[in-house]
């Protein structure tokens, strides 16, 4: 695996929580739009039991378009896959040496400058860049060996 691919995976890892939050908002909007039970309620207070569905909620759920249900299920599956791949990437990051992990997390995940990272790990900025290069090589090997990461279809930019 090439360094560019590792860098794009790290950027994707950084954005996973934002993507999940966005997907959850989409699900909530769809549910609010289609699962609104106020329209199905009868307000006269009289019991209704005529052999059909007895609950206003059941009436609403039965009237939700199949495409909306499929969309919600697909988004939930995507969120679960993103959580799983995030865990796999994190486990590989945790296997790095402390200085390598600190440099990679600081630069690619937290967006810190080299001077800030060098203060944290007590190396010069030049040494930190060298540590980053070694860490990317180690991650390339580990990501290639990890079946979940190597098989996952990362979005193209």
**Is it the case that residue 61 has pLDDT exceeding 70?**
no
Q: What CA–CA distance (Å, rounded) separates 77 from 86? A: 14
The verdict on pTM exceeding 0.85 is no
**Is it the case that residue 50 has pLDDT exceeding 60?**
no
Q: What CA–CA distance (Å, rounded) separates 53 from 62? A: 9
Average model confidence (pLDDT) across the chain: 86
User: What is the reported pLDDT for 38?
Assistant: 55
User: What is the reported pLDDT for 12?
Assistant: 95
Q: What average pLDDT score do residues 67-83 get?
A: 93
Rounded to the nearest 5°, which phi and psi values hold at 53? -70, 140
Tell me the per-residue pLDDT of 109-142, one tens digit each, with 9 for 90 and over: 999 999 999 999 999 999 999 999 999 999 999 9
Residue 56 CA, chain-centre distance (Å), reads: 35
């Amino acid at each position: 695996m090439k360094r560019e691919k590792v860098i794009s995976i790290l950027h994707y890892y950084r954005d996973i929580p934002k993507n999940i939050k966005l997907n959850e908002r989409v699900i909530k909007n769809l549910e609010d739009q289609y699962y609104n039970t106020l329209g199905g309620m009868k307000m006269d207070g009289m019991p209704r039991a005529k052999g059909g569905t007895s609950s206003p909620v059941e009436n609403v759920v039965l009237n939700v378009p199949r495409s909306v249900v499929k969309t919600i299920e697909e988004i939930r599956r995507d969120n679960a896959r993103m959580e799983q791949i995030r865990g796999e990437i994190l486990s590989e990051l945790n296997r790095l040496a402390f200085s390598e992990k600190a440099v990679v997390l600081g630069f690619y995940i937290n967006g810190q400058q080299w001077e800030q990272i060098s203060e944290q790990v007590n190396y010069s900025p030049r040494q930190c860049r060298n540590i980053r290069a070694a860490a990317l090589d180690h991650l390339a090997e580990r990501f290639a060996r990890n079946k979940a990461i190597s098989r996952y279809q990362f979005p193209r930019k």
